[in-house]
Structure 1
Amino acid sequence: MNPNADTSGSGARPLADGNRLPVLGLGVWQVPDGRACVDAVRWALGAGYRHIDTAQAYGNEASVGRALRDSGVPRGEVFVTTKFQPRGNDPVGQLENSLRRLGVEEVDLYLVHWPEGGATRAWAGMERALELGLTRSIGVSNYSAAELEAVIAAGTVPPAVNQVLFNPRNNRRALLDACARFDVAVEAYSPLGTGRYVDDPTVAGIARRTGRTPAQVLLRWGLQQGLVVVAKSTHRERIHENAGIFDFALSDQDMAELDALDRTGGTDRALESTWW
C-alpha cells in the first residue's frame, strides 16, 4: 500500500502547501450545464462528498455554483476545483470569470488543464492567481514527469497536484513515483475508465470475492495506490455507491491482480497521445 494513501475514512490528503484535499471527488466532465449537473452535485454533497471537480472547458461552472448554494452545505466545507482553459492567455482573468460563474470568492484548487503551448507557459499566471487570493492551491493536469519537473524548475511555487488519467489499465507507476519525489499529489480522473472497466473479468472477480461492486473495487484500488479519485456520475444511486469505499480494503493479491491489468508499461507520461 502506498504510504501516502488515506484509507482510514478520514478522507483527506495533505498537500505540500498545507491545504487538505478530500480523496474522493465528484467530477462533472461531460455533464451538461443545467439540471443534470445541478442534481449530480447536490446528490454528491448529500451523500457526504466534499470535493467537486469542474473546469472552464466543461461549460458547467454555473450549475456547480447553483448546486453548492442549493445544497445548504457551508462553502468552507466543500473543496472546489476548476481548471484553466489553456487555449486562453490569462489565467487570472479566466479564473475571475470562473468565480463569477461559480458564485464564490475563491476556489480551493486551480489547475492548468493541459500543457498546451509548453509546460511552463501558463505557470506565471497561475502563481499570480494564487498571490491574488483567487485560489488556495494551484496545480496541473495531464503533465508528464518531465513537464512537471520543468514547471518546478521555472516557477517559485511548485504544483500541489497533478491530475491525470489513472486506473488499473493506465497504471502510470513511474509518473506516480515522480510525483511522490516532488511532493505532488496525484489525482486520478477516469478511475473507472469512463465506466468501461467495471465489466472487466478481473475486476468483477475481485468484486465477488469482496462483496463489493466493481466500481467500488476500482476506486478502492486508487485509494490504496495513494491517489485522489475523481469519479463522474449523474445517477444518484451510483454516486452513493461510489462513496462506499472507506470501510473495506483490498488484499495484496487483489492489488496485484489489478496492477497486472496495466497497458502503459508503467509509463511516466500522462497520456499516450495528446489532443492539443
Structure 2
Amino acid sequence: MCVKAVRWALELGYRHIDTAQAYGNEESVGRALKESGVPRDEVFITTKFWPGSRDPVAEAERSLERLGIDFVDLYLIHWPQGGPTWAWPGMEQARANGYTRSIGVSNFDVRELDEVIATAAVAPVVDQVQFSPFEYRRKLLDGAGERAIAVEAYSPLGTGRHLGNRAVQRLAARVGRTPAQVLLRWCVQQNTIVIPKSTHRDRIEENSRIFDFTLSAEDMAELDALDETGATDRALEEKWW
C-alpha cells in the first residue's frame, strides 16, 4: 500500500515525501520513486534517525541503501530519546559526508532546541511536531521562528479524528471546502510545512487542493480557538520514550 500511496501522490503533483527508519517503509518509498519516473531532483525526501540506534551516520547510510538514492534532502532526529544533544554531532557528520543536504529534529520542545543550538556547529533547520488547530503550539511555533527553525506539521488531521469536529465541519461548509482542506489550509496560513498522510488516492488528491483559497482572519481565529494545548512550547503532551 505504501508503494501505491507514494506513487499516487507523485502522479498528483506532490513533491515532498516523508519517511523514517522507524516506519519500516523506506524501501517502498524508494521503489515508488523509481517507478514514478519523476526525476530525483524534483522530489524532496525526508527521513528520520531512529534514536534507539547509536550512530546517525551508519543509519543514514542504511537509509540511503533502502531508498536507493545517493542522499536525502532532510534528515531528522525522530525524537530526543536519551537527551536532545548526543546524536547531533553524528547528524552534522552525516551532512558533511553528503548523505543529507539539511538536518533537523522532530518532537523537540523549545528548551531542547536551545540545548542543540548551544552545542551545534550547524543548527537544525526544521522541528517536525504534531500541529493542528487542536494542537496549536503557538509558543513553540513562535520560538522556532525566533531561532530561524521551520515548523513542520505532522498529523494535521489528527489521524482523522479532527475531521468530525462540528466546528470544523461548520466552517468547512461555510467556505465550501472539506474539513481536511480547511485544517490543512490553516497549517499553511500558520507558515508551517504541512505533511498530511493518506493511503486513499481520492483523499490524497483532496488534500492537495488547498492553494486556491484563503481562510479569512475570522476563520483563522475560530480555528485557533480549538487549541487544547494552552499554546504550549512543548512538542508533545505525553512522551512515549
Q: Smaller-chain TM-score range?
A: over 0.9
1:134 aligned to 2:99? yes
Q: Match of 2:89? A: 124
Gaps of 5+ in 1: 1-35
CA–CA distance in 2 between the matches of 1:104 and 1:210? 42
Equivalent position amino acid for 2:159 in 1: T
Q: State the one-letter code of the partner of 2:122.
A: V
2:231 matched to which residue of 1? 266
Residue from 162, 172, 175 that aligns with 2:140: 175
1:206 Cα deviation from its structure 2 partner: 1.0
Describe how 1:1-276 pairs up with structure 2 within 5 A. 36-276=1-241
Count, aligned residues: 241
TM-score, normalisation: structure 2: 1.00
- The one-letter code sitting in structure 1 at the alignment partner of 2:127 is N
1:209 to partner: Cα distance:
0.9
Aligned-residue sequence identity (percent) comes to 65
CA RMSD of aligned residues (A): 0.4
Name the aligned partner's letter for residue 20 of structure 2. A
Tell me which protein shows more helix as a share of its residues: 2
**Structure 1: how far apart are the matches of 2:86 and 2:10?**
35
CA distance in 2, matches of 1:225, 1:172: 11
Matched position secondary structure for 2:98: coil
Partners of 1:104 and 1:155 lie apart in 2 by 27
- What SS does the aligned partner of 1:231 have? coil
Counterpart residue type for residue 17 of structure 2: I
Amino acid at match of 2:35: D
Tell me the equivalent position of 1:33. none
**How far apart are the structure 1 equivalents of 2:64 and 2:44?**
14
Q: Which has the higher contact order (CA 8 A, sep 6+)?
A: 1
How far apart, in 1, do the equivalents of 2:155 and 2:128 lie?
10
Q: Deviations over 1:178-227 (max 9, x none)?
A: 00000000000000000100111111011101111000000000000001
Distance 2:168 2:86 in 1: 40
Secondary structure at 1:108's aligned position in 2? strand
Q: Which amino acid in 2 is paired with 1:198?
A: L
Q: Secondary structure at the match of 1:67?
A: helix
Residue 121 of structure 1: CA displacement? 1.0
The 4+ residue runs of structure 1 with deviation greater than 4 A are: none
